[in-house]
């Protein structure tokens, strides 16, 4: 309730929130008693909008109109009142004069509150001060606001609260609506672009018996009637390619995707993509479409190719560079994989520049190349760039390159260090596809639960014959982030995924109910615990004191890409500068449950590169064994302990 109270202040701070709510409910009760219940009204016809009045004032002046919206401010309240009315297009001033309205109606209007929704009939005019306004003849209360809006100056500023109460955010921060208007425009533009190319929009299942089409961890649910577990889709790729087999030569789907993975400024567990597939085309055709969609939207809806995003000036002018992964690694890392033919040499070359392969990855030329790109090159890709010719190991659904069978005809395009889309010359050889699926199965068995599952029905479809096909997937949310300048995906998703807040504390009001059963104290069984023997060697105090143990607060936590074990922590260590520590505890904790916790870290260990990220210390955990199985508990402290407090 503290947050709610903080974010729902009224313009009159001397009146408590509870008193304001009480007064509003009393006003509603009085109206209902008088037979004027606003919630009984079902319809109001508006003939204009605030924007239309302002854009066409000269031709509308003196003409009767009706308009509906929310009261956002009130001034005067004697014989003359001024209000700001907000509708979907903006704000317009209302002018209400006692001697120009029914007196009883005017007196009721004087009692209306900021936030109330009203319908107004009147005429367009300009006040003596030149303000375009609606001179009210009648004002009808259409809905009573029982909670006061955040007041003007402090407003709804807390980001978390704005995401949780998007409905209030849209009311009091009208600029937020722009992001979602641009989002709608982009999706419409995308559909128009593909429709004009002869594509057909289709729908494919959200619930599947196999999670395929991407390397990602799925959400699992259970179908009661069939009594089977099902996966929420992680991609739309495989069903769409089945349609290509069936003769639907150009298909696309704009749809929701679900991945049970970490959350950060660029990732939400549910997000929107477009996937499209075109028979008798290849990845070069997909590059043309990707560039075309972005550049035509920027020009048509924003009027410019130059955008500002994440502190960078981005130039979308057509003619984006196309760079092979081998050339990109050579340019930015200095390792020429084109001159390396041996797996061991490739892995050694990667290690020499501080690159480590993923835990479950085979130690091959292709995996070494991709690791170098992933860890060392992406950070340099600010301007729109197509990276092409990916290793076959990381492209299980892509056609091999005729020039180099180690590589595939695949591209991803990057803007401002973010991957914005992924495309292939689709693999249509069912024998090769089966072999690659089996490689993915082997990798899954080695512990990588984000690899492709074996889809026998999809292999059957390929055996009937799929024509040469180009396919692409693009993230809608990241595209909208670019076009709106948003620095987090939550700013472009109306209702982003949020961890539920704790339930409010119950009041002390006595209720005549049966007494609850006393909560039983948890019994912890330590009988099977195996503790390692204590060290026999002593360490002198001077040596011990050189280790700097500090209390740290977890600001954010996410799973490390391509690693099953590692979590990346962003920590407050009391210095004012974020500290990054990687810890291999993902088996025991999900990232979101650790945010906000107070932990212990050694802060003066030398930085250690892990998966291309410098880990600046070590988080302390308690480890023991039970029946031969390792158990781990991250050491967590009283939250009252401040960040930076030194441990002795």
Alpha-carbon distance 242 to 220, whole Å?
Answer: 23
Residue 216: name the closest of 460, 559, 557, 493 by CA. Answer: 559
Contact 277, 244 (CB under 8 A): yes
pLDDT in tens, 363-407: 999 999 999 999 999 999 999 999 999 999 999 889 999 999 999
CB hemisphere CA count around 513 (13 angstroms): 6
Alpha-carbon distance 136 to 80, whole Å?
Answer: 11
Say yes or no to pLDDT of 502 above 70.
no
Least confident span in 15-19, 62-66, 76-80, 364-368:
15-19
Element (H, E) at 155: none
Residue 139: name the closest of 91, 87, 80, 94 by CA. Answer: 94
Any residues with CB less than 8 A from the CB of 510 and at least 6 apart, and which? none
Say yes or no to pLDDT of 515 above 70.
no
pTM of the model: 0.77
Say yes or no to pLDDT of 54 above 50.
yes
pLDDT in tens, 225-246: 999 999 999 999 999 999 999 9
484, two tokens: 């709106």
Least confident span in 89-93, 175-179, 450-454, 505-509:
505-509
Q: What whole-number percentage of the chain has pLDDT above 90?
A: 73
Model confidence band, residue 420 (pLDDT cutoffs 50, 70, 90): very high
Compute the average pLDDT of residues 280-286: 98
Which long-range contacts link 154-163 to residues 24+ away (Cβ below 8 Å)? 154/9, 156/7, 158/3, 158/6, 158/7, 159/490, 160/498, 161/3, 161/7, 163/490, 163/495, 163/496, 163/498
pLDDT in tens, 131-150: 999 999 999 999 999 999 98
- For the chain, what is the mean pLDDT? 90
Alpha-carbon distance 42 to 47, whole Å?
Answer: 17
DSSP state of 359: T
Q: Which residues pair with 279 in a beta bridge?
A: 469
Model confidence band, residue 418 (pLDDT cutoffs 50, 70, 90): very high
Instruction: Give the β-pairing of 90-97 and 132-143.
Output: parallel
In the three-class reduction of DSSP (H, G, I as helix; E, B as strand; rest coil), residue 414 is classed as strand
The total of other beta-carbon atoms located within 10 Å of residue 1's CB is 8
Query: What's the confidence (pLDDT) of residue 15?
Result: 67
Q: 3-state SS of the chain: helix, strand, coil percent to 5?
A: 30, 30, 40
Question: What are the phi and psi torsion angles at 198 (to 5°)?
Answer: 90, 15
Query: What's the confidence (pLDDT) of residue 453?
Result: 81
Compute the average pLDDT of residues 344-362: 91
Query: What's the confidence (pLDDT) of residue 230?
Result: 96
Contact 587, 566 (CB under 8 A): no
CA distances, 607 to each of 50, 67, 399, 612, 616 (Å)? 58, 63, 40, 12, 5
Query: What's the confidence (pLDDT) of residue 518?
Result: 47
Q: Which residue has the higher pLDDT, 294 or 588?
A: 294
Q: Which residue has the higher pLDDT, 557 or 244?
A: 244
The residue count of the chain comes to: 648
Alpha-carbon distance 190 to 296, whole Å?
Answer: 10
pLDDT in tens, 516-532: 444 456 677 787 888 88
Contact 411, 387 (CB under 8 A): yes
Compute the average pLDDT of residues 100-105: 94
117, two tokens: 């929704």
Q: What is the DSSP secondary-structure string of 264-324?
A: BTTB-SEEEEEEEEEET--HHHHHHHHHHHHHHHIIIIIS-SEEEETTEEEE--S---EEE
235, two tokens: 């991609």
Query: What's the confidence (pLDDT) of residue 182?
Result: 97
């Amino acid at each position: 309730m503290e947050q709610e109270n903080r974010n729902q202040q009224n313009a009159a701070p001397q009146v408590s929130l509870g008193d304001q709510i009480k007064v509003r409910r009393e006003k509603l009760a009085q109206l209902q008693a008088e037979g004027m219940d606003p919630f009984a009204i079902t319809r109001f016809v508006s003939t204009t909008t605030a924007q239309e009045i302002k854009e066409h004032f000269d031709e509308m002046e003196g003409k009767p109109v009706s308009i509906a919206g929310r009261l956002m401010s009130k001034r005067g309240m004697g014989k003359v009142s001024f209000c700001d009315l907000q509708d979907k297009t903006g704000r317009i001033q209302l002018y209400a004069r006692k001697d120009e309205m029914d007196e009883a109606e005017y007196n009721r209007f004087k009692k209306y509150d900021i936030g109330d929704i009203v319908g107004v009939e009147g005429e367009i005019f300009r006040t003596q001060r030149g303000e375009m306004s609606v001179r009210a003849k009648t004002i009808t209360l259409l809905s009573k606001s029982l909670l006061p809006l955040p007041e003007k100056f402090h407003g709804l500023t807390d980001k978390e609260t704005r995401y949780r109460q998007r409905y209030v955010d849209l009311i009091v921060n009208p600029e937020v609506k722009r992001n979602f208007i641009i989002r709608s425009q982009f999706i419409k533009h995308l559909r128009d672009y593909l429709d004009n190319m002869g594509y057909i929009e289709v729908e494919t299942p959200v619930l599947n018996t196999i999670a395929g089409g991407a390397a990602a961890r799925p959400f699992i649910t259970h179908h009661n009637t069939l009594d089977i577990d099902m996966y929420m889709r992680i991609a739309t790729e495989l069903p769409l390619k089945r349609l290509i087999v069936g003769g639907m030569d150009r298909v696309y789907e704009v749809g929701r995707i679900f991945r049970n993975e970490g959350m950060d400024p660029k990732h939400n567990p549910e997000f929107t993509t477009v996937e499209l597939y075109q028979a008798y085309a290849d990845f070069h055709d997909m590059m043309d479409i990707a560039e075309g969609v972005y550049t035509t939207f920027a020009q048509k809806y924003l009027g410019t190719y130059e955008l500002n995003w994440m502190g960078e000036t981005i130039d979308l002018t057509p003619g984006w560079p196309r760079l092979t992964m081998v050339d990109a690694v050579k340019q930015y890392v200095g390792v020429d994989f084109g001159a390396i033919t041996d797996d061991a040499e490739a892995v050694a070359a990667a290690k020499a520049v501080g690159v480590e392969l993923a835990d479950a990855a085979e130690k091959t030329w292709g995996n070494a190349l991709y690791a170098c790109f992933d860890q060392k090159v992406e950070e340099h890709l600010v301007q729109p760039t197509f990276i092409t010719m990916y290793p076959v190991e990381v492209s299980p659904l892509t056609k091999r390159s005729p020039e180099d069978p180690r590589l595939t005809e695949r591209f991803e395009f990057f803007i401002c260090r973010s991957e914005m889309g992924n495309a292939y010359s689709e693999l249509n050889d069912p024998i090769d596809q089966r072999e690659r699926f089996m490689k993915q199965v082997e990798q899954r068995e080695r512990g990588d639960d984000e690899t492709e599952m074996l889809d026998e029905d999809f292999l059957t479809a390929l055996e009937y014959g799929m024509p040469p096909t180009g396919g692409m997937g693009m993230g809608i949310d990241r595209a909208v982030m670019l076009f709106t300048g948003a620095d987090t995906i939550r700013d472009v998703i109306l209702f982003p995924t949020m961890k539920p807040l704790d339930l409010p504390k119950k009041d002390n009001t006595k209720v005549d109910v049966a007494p609850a059963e006393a909560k039983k104290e948890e019994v912890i069984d330590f009988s099977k615990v195996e503790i390692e023997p204590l060290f026999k060697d002593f360490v002198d105090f001077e040596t011990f004191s050189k280790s700097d143990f500090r209390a740290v607060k977890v600001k954010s936590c996410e799973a490390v890409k391509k690693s099953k074990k590692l979590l990346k922590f962003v920590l407050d260590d009391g210095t004012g500068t974020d500290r990054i520590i990687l810890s291999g505890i993902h088996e025991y904790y999900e990232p979101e449950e650790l945010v906000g916790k107070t932990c212990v870290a050694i802060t003066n260990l030398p930085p250690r590169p892990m998966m291309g990220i410098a880990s600046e210390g070590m988080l302390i955990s308690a480890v023991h064994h039970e029946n031969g199985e390792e158990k781990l508990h991250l050491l967590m402290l009283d939250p009252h302990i401040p960040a930076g407090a030194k441990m002795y």
